[in-house]
Structure 1
Amino acid sequence: MQKSSSTPLPLLDVHLPDAPSWLPLAWGWWAAIGSIVLIILAIVLRIRWKRKRHAPKKAALRLLDPKFGSQSPSSAMELLRQAALCYYPRSEIAHLTGKDWYAFLDEELGREVFIANEAQWQQALYKKQTSEHASALVEDCYQWVNEALPPAKRRKGNIGKH
């Protein structure tokens, strides 16, 4: 028997292909990234919009808060009117006075608070001495700002018509 030569053949080492890279991304990944960016942008814009919308309410509540200072009923009513003007059109609010103003406040609150105390309000607004009901009247203003602002869906045409 003949002896065969057992010399190895001159072969090169095995070269594996490069691992697939992340770039360039497939269109599905770009769509997912774009969707995430749009959702984050929408959330940020919504938060900014809400903060801006609720800023007048927060400022009015801070000024009307009985813990941080005592307001007179006339200054509380002035602050209430300013807060209402931030949310309602000036053409619908500015001309309201007396019973029409109190009716508007009660209509937006959903219960009679201001018309029931109309005599007390008229007395407190135009009297220099402090009334014994002053803190209750200021508390009514605080409640109105807290519960009625910002307004829900608007009902056109009913403001001041009673």
Structure 2
Amino acid sequence: MTSTNNESILPLQDMALPQIPDWFPLAWGWWASLAGIVLIFALLLFYLRWKKKRLAPKKTALHLIPKEKPAAALELVRQVALCYYPREHIAQLTGKDWYIFLDSQVSTPIFEQNYEQWQSVLYSKEAILNSEQLVQDCYQWVEQALPPKKRRA
């Protein structure tokens, strides 16, 4: 005897679904990712500020080099060199030693070969013919030698 009785079906309850997870609080991986992004941004910001501060004397010198006065340009080169190199080393250099130091900081020597011209410009009131080239040499030195790379001989 088969009876189709609804009472024989077990009383089942509706399916209980879990709650939809909230987006907050975040899992530790998201916090670690966020901290990494903030750290990278902070390091980049500090690096850019450090680089700007390091290049400030060079940029200033390039803007201030006079166009027609080699003696003033060489004085500016000495001042900017004091910003990057130890004062004890730079302050005592004079004459040919100063020009040798300047040439040692660039790949092609430009000062020692013009030693007599530089001396006449510094200690004479008369104008020199190639004063623009001497000023250009100062500009080139500031552009190439600063900021100093690893220690040079």
Q: Which category describes the TM-score, using the shorter chain as reference length?
A: 0.7 to 0.9
Q: Contact 1:72/1:130 (CA < 8 Å) preserved in 2?
A: no
Please report the TM-score for the alignment, with normalisation by the length of structure 2. Answer: 0.86
Superposed displacement of residue 130, structure 1 = 2.0
- Please tell me the residue identity of whatever aligns with 1:60: A
Within 5 A, what are the aligned runs for 1:86-101?
86-101=83-98
- Given the alignment, which residue of 118, 123, 127 partners 1:121? 118
1:106 aligns with 2:107: no
* Equivalent-residue separation in structure 1 for 2:22 and 2:127 (angstroms): 78
* Equivalent-residue separation in structure 2 for 1:22 and 1:130 (angstroms): 77
Aligned to 1:27: 28
- Deviation string 1:61-84 (CA, Å, 9 cap, x unpaired) is 1112xxxx5241111011000110
Within 5 A, what are the aligned runs for 1:28-67?
28-64=29-65
Aligned length in residues: 147
Q: What's the secondary structure of 1:92's corresponding residue?
A: helix
Superposed displacement of residue 110, structure 1 = 2.2
RMSD: 2.2
Please report the TM-score for the alignment, with normalisation by the length of structure 1. Answer: 0.82
Q: Is the deviation greater in 49-58 or in 122-131?
A: 122-131
* Equivalent-residue separation in structure 2 for 1:113 and 1:152 (angstroms): 19
* Equivalent-residue separation in structure 2 for 1:60 and 1:133 (angstroms): 21
* Equivalent-residue separation in structure 2 for 1:71 and 1:83 (angstroms): 19
Q: Is the deviation greater in 36-45 or in 19-28?
A: 19-28
Superposed displacement of residue 39, structure 1 = 0.3
- Please tell me the residue identity of whatever aligns with 1:58: K
- Please tell me the residue identity of whatever aligns with 2:127: T
Superposed displacement of residue 129, structure 1 = 2.4
- Given the alignment, which residue of 113, 138, 141 partners 2:138? 141
Any stretches of 5+ residues in structure 1 without a counterpart? 5-11
- Please tell me the residue identity of whatever aligns with 1:20: P
